[in-house]
């Protein structure tokens, strides 16, 4: 074939054919690389499409978490206040119980005295 080209063109074309074959191979590789890049870009675009909605969801979740933290602090303060009131109530009840105990001891002592008096009175009768 190279001989036929030489006859038609009037020069040796084997070098040109070799260069064209090399160029064809390089263009095939370039086309494959471009196709691969296009495919990667398509995958990237699909993945990037959901990023905005995911960021919005993340922002909403973060905002909700912040509100829950604030409510937790508020609830903790209310619990501390309630515990303080319960502590005061328990101290008040303890004081009342102590007062009742003292009064009972006093009454018990008086009852013994009355009991002796009535026993003596019955004995005399």
Nearest Cα neighbor of 2 from 13, 18, 15 is: 13
Q: Which is higher by pLDDT, 43 or 108? A: 43
Does one domain contain both 69 and 99?
yes
Digit-coded pLDDT (tens) for 8-50? 666 666 777 788 889 999 999 999 999 999 999 999 998 888 8
Pairwise CA distance, residues 29 & 91, whole Å: 89
Q: Tell me: do 83 and 100 sit in the same domain.
A: yes
Are 39 and 55 within one domain?
no
DSSP state of 1: -
Find the domain containing 32 and state its range: 1-49
- Count of structural domains within the chain: 2
79 and 125 share a domain?
A: yes
Burial class of residue 48 (count of CB atoms within 10 Å of its CB; 0-12, 13-18, 19+): exposed
Looking at the structure, tell me whether residues 60 and 120 fall in a common domain.
yes
Q: How far apart (Å, rounded) are the C-alpha atoms in residues 98 and 92?
A: 10
């Amino acid at each position: 074939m190279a001989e036929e080209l030489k006859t038609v063109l009037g020069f040796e074309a084997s070098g040109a054919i070799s260069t064209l074959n090399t160029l064809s191979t390089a263009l095939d590789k370039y086309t494959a690389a471009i196709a691969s890049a296009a495919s990667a870009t398509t995958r990237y675009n699909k993945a990037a499409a959901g990023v905005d909605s995911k960021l919005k969801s993340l922002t909403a979740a973060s905002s909700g978490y912040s509100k829950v933290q604030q409510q937790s602090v508020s609830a903790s303060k209310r619990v501390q206040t309630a515990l303080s009131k319960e502590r005061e109530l328990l101290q008040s009840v303890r004081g009342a119980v102590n007062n009742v105990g003292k009064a009972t001891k006093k009454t018990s002592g008086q009852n013994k005295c009355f009991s002796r008096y009535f026993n003596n009175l019955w004995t005399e009768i």
